[in-house]
Amino acid sequence: MTDTAENTIAAKPKIKHDWYQTDAQVVVTILLKNAPADKVKVHYGDRSLSVSAPLPNTDAEYSLELELAHEVIPSMSSHIVSPSKIEVKLRKKEGLRWAKLEGEGNEEKIKAIPQAVIDASGPPAPPKIFKKDWDKIEKEIKKMMAPLTKSIFFLLINIYIKIYGEGSDEVRRAMNKSFVESGGTVLSTNWNQVAKDKVEVKPPDGLEFKKWDQ
């Protein structure tokens, strides 16, 4: 080996890389300064990451090849080249915390992240149309029911409270919507039925429904 070749190898800088994660992403930071953005090549695989870039002021090239511990979504991953570093953002396929960056992917799943959280950190969702604040309505219903004491209706009320507490989100939405829109005369647990139209007032036989200000 010639002295020139030895000097070239000795001059090749050692580039460090590190990583951190959020609920939805794994971010790999490569401390390569002044990398030409148009010559940085990044390849995303389902379980792999490949980064290459020419080293400034040398004829050498930087290369990083990683076998990832878990799967990512290549189409939702990206990278940014700045004067001080290359930052690669890998979108997690599963909502869990990674114990390490590289590996066989069979380590214990430490923490499951709700899918809603992952979705919220993705691309902006289209504007939502105005909807009723069912959480607020739910609180108002609970406030209305709080003063109730034992009576001939107490057992029935407890049954509905139990259904409400143990039911699915659709069951609770159905109960809230039917109760509010019917003025308290209908209490349905069938969301598919009550979601279609406004729930009509249905007072008991022999009674007439009137609003409180009438």
Q: Would you state the pLDDT for residue 131?
A: 59
Looking at beta carbons, which pairs linking 122-131 to residues 24 or more positions away fall under 8 Å? 122/24, 122/76, 122/91
- Most confident of the following: 55-59, 105-109, 196-200, 201-205: 55-59
Question: Does residue 45 lie within any of the structural domains?
Answer: yes
Q: Would you state the pLDDT for residue 197?
A: 80
Same domain flag for 112 and 142: no
Contact (Cβ atoms closer than 8 angstroms) between residue 21 and residue 97: yes
Same domain flag for 71 and 173: no
Q: Tens digit of pLDDT for each residue in 150-176?
A: 555 566 666 767 777 777 788 778 778
Higher pLDDT, 24 or 206: 24
Question: Does residue 206 lie within any of the structural domains?
Answer: no
Contact (Cβ atoms closer than 8 angstroms) between residue 55 and residue 63: no
Contact (Cβ atoms closer than 8 angstroms) between residue 73 and residue 91: yes
Same domain flag for 142 and 56: no
Residues 6+ apart with CB under 8 A from 176: 134, 137, 138, 141
Question: Which residue segment(s) compose the domain that 172 sits in?
Answer: 134-194
Higher pLDDT, 63 or 13: 63
Q: Would you state the pLDDT for residue 6?
A: 47
Same domain flag for 185 and 105: no
**Does residue 5 surpass a pLDDT of 60?**
no
pTM recorded for the entire structure: 0.46
d(CA 136, CA 158): 21
Question: Does residue 102 lie within any of the structural domains?
Answer: yes
